[in-house]
């Protein structure tokens, strides 16, 4: 594949599995030195091993993105090891509990917002701060969701967090457009990941999720990773403040009966 991130340093949060792992490996194959961040050390090391097997250079940093000191340290370790930060994918997130608003606990709401929304805000804060210090700017992609564009009964905290990520993305893009820093978001539908496996663990739930996608299937992590790579590359150099849907037609309208 083209080495379009040659000489650049990438950072992927939530790089321990699923879309994050796929993107971290793809960044490395495209020539980037990669910092993999996440809370699970064993899974993080598995991602590191995959990158090294592909002859990539990488570093794992254990990070809880909801905690400012850990996010600041994550960026600092990236700089100490590789000297700069060029492309980032703020992917870390959780699904939260599935419950109507009247039955959702305050604790679960706070946890979901802290990871999915505050975590992206903290990452943006420290990533942009570093990119402003260095020559060449940078490119950032935030993980949103189709549920950042529409509501979904039973997912109030998750949906609110992803709507918030889109607001953060547009604001950060406007604040930094003239400074050489691009900020965009990706909005996948249901993708075959450990998170969706948990959410769709019952056959009826899985069947319903598939039916919501006119293509008749769930997405694959590699399909999202390829889009993130493109958004971080020079091929998307005039793109900022945008939200890219990768949803198998989910948002186009109801799927026709087969």
Give the residue numbers marked as catalytic. Answer: 158
- E-state strands within 87-180: 87-90, 138-143
The span from the CA of 178 to the CA of 134, in Å, is 15
Nearest of 21, 52, 50, 56 to residue 37 by alpha carbon: 21
* Angle of CA points 57, 51, 199, to nearest 5°: 135
205 φ, ψ to 5°? -65, -40
Q: Is the dihedral of CA 199, 202, 203, 208 positive or negative?
A: negative
């Amino acid at each position: 594949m083209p080495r379009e991130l040659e000489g650049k340093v990438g950072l992927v949060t939530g790089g321990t599995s699923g879309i994050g792992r796929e993107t971290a490996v793809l960044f490395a194959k495209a020539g980037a030195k990669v910092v993999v961040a996440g809370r699970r050390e064993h899974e993080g090391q598995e991602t590191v091993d995959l990158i090294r097997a592909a002859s990539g250079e990488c570093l794992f940093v254990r990070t809880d993105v909801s905690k400012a000191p850990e996010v600041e340290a994550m960026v600092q370790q990236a700089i100490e090891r590789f000297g700069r930060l060029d492309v980032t994918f703020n992917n870390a997130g959780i699904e939260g509990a599935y419950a109507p608003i009247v039955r959702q606990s305050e604790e679960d709401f706070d946890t979901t917002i802290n990871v999915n929304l505050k975590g992206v805000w903290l990452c943006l804060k420290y990533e942009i701060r570093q990119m402003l210090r260095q020559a060449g700017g940078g490119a950032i992609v935030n993980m949103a969701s189709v549920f950042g564009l529409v509501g979904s009964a039973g997912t109030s905290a998750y949906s609110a967090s992803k709507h918030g990520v889109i607001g953060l993305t547009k604001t950060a893009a406007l604040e930094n457009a003239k400074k050489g820093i691009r900020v965009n978001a990706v909005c996948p539908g249901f993708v075959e990941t450990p998170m969706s496996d948990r959410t769709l663990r019952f056959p009826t739930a899985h069947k319903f999720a598939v039916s919501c996608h006119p293509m008749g299937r769930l997405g694959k992590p590699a399909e999202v990773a390829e889009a993130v790579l493109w958004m971080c590359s020079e091929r998307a150099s005039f793109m900022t403040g945008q939200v890219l849907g990768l949803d198998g037609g989910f948002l186009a309208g109801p799927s026709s009966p087969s």
